[in-house]
Amino acid sequence: NAGVTQTPKFQVLKTGQSMTLQCAQDMNHEYMSWYRQDPGMGLRLIHYSVGAGITDQGEVPNGYNVSRSTTEDFPLRLLSAAPSQTSVYFCASSPRGTRADTQYFGPGTRLTVL
């Protein structure tokens, strides 16, 4: 099992550009989520999905879109990048998304917006 994979590892964008961060898992997990990590702020939930075709907003959804057409994939789209979106982005999955579940994290994407 590859677990949770994310691409790219690093990305530099100019303000206003759009891009998609890819996330895939091969563990047949129902629940997937996107977090951003900023120094001194822990992880903040952007969007999450409890199954294919179902997505919902987290704590900081503005400026981001998601879709979940398959169980395996959960891409995150930045519509018009802003410097405030400079961060490290983590995708995570868990078997059912229940409150006792362990979350499995990808290696992260480090994004810089100039």
Partner 1 sequence: AQSVTQLGSHVSVSEGALVLLRCNYSSSVPPYLFWYVQYPNQGLQLLLKYTTGATLVKGINGFEAEFKKSETSFHLTKPSAHMSDAAEYFCAVSNVDSNYQLIWGAGTKLIIKP
Residue numbers of the site for partner 1 (CB under 8 A)?
A: 4, 40-45, 48, 58, 90, 92, 97-100, 102-108
- Which of residues 92 and 113 has its CB atom nearest to partner 1 in the complex? 92
CB of 16 to partner 1, least distance (A): 29
CB of 108 to partner 1, least distance (A): 6
- Which of residues 5 and 17 has its CB atom nearest to partner 1 in the complex? 5
- 83: three-class secondary structure by DSSP: helix
CB of 24 to partner 1, least distance (A): 14
Sign of torsion over alpha carbons 43, 55, 18, 91? positive
- Which of residues 17 and 30 has its CB atom nearest to partner 1 in the complex? 30
Residue pair 86/11 in contact by the 8 Å Cβ criterion: no
The whole-angstrom separation of Cα 28 and Cα 11 is: 28
Q: Write the CB contacts of 36 (distance below 8 Å, at least 6 apart in sequence).
A: 43, 44, 46, 60, 85, 87, 88, 89, 90
- Which of residues 77 and 110 has its CB atom nearest to partner 1 in the complex? 110
CB of 20 to partner 1, least distance (A): 19
